[in-house]
């Protein structure tokens, strides 16, 4: 690392990661299909710094994250909730990642998928018709998936590649 990079590092450093168990100990208040410890491990492995975690809704959590872009750290949040869906009777997980002044990247979205849904569960990014679109945060991306991980879409690659 160059001397200039070291100086840039000092401008904002979120500090050392607090103990994961301390962050996650009181976050989830109801049964939850997401392994919060594994989620934290994936995020740390992908280079994120973790901050304050708090309960979110009846069954969920909000986690403050930092991501390094160049020499600067950008604070964001990751929210994960779980609830029954009245239309199909299944538990669904909703996960979002957001930053205040920049859109999450594809790498952020894949990290969110891996952290929340793991290697074996399906998740979906949804694009509703324009008249049903809701946007409460300009720099947030969302994933939805069934808590049991089931694939609820047809196999579009059944006749070969898409």
Residues 24-68: pLDDT tens digits?
544 444 556 788 888 999 999 999 999 988 988 888 899 999 999
Can you give the pLDDT at residue 67? Answer: 94
**Torsion on CA atoms 43, 46, 48, 50, rounded to nearest 10:** 30
Is the confidence at residue 13, as pLDDT, over 50?
no
* Most confident region among 79-88, 104-113, 129-138 by mean pLDDT: 104-113
Work out the average pLDDT over 7-20: 45
Q: What six digits make up the tokens of 105?
A: 């990247």
pLDDT value at position 16? 52
Side-by-side strand order, sheet with 49-55: 49-55, 60-69, 72-84, 91-98, 140-146
List, for residues 99-115, the tens digit of each pLDDT value. 999 999 999 999 999 99
**pLDDT of amino acid 8:** 39
Contact 99/75 with Cβ under 8 angstroms?
yes
């Amino acid at each position: 690392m160059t001397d200039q990079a070291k100086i840039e590092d000092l401008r904002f450093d979120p500090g050392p990661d607090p103990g994961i168990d301390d962050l996650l100990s009181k976050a989830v208040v109801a049964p939850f299909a997401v392994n919060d410890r594994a989620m934290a491990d994936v995020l740390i492995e992908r280079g994120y710094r973790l901050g304050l975690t708090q309960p979110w809704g009846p069954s969920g959590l909000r986690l403050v994250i930092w991501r390094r872009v160049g020499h600067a750290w950008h604070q964001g949040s990751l929210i994960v909730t779980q609830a029954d869906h009245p239309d199909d009777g299944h538990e669904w997980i909703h996960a979002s990642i957001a930053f205040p002044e920049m859109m999450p990247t594809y790498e952020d979205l894949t990290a969110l998928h891996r952290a929340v849904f793991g290697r074996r569960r399906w998740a979906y990014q949804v694009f509703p018709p324009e008249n049903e679109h809701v946007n409460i945060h300009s720099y947030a991306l969302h994933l939805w998936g069934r808590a049991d991980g089931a694939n609820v879409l047809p196999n579009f690659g059944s006749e070969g590649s898409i």
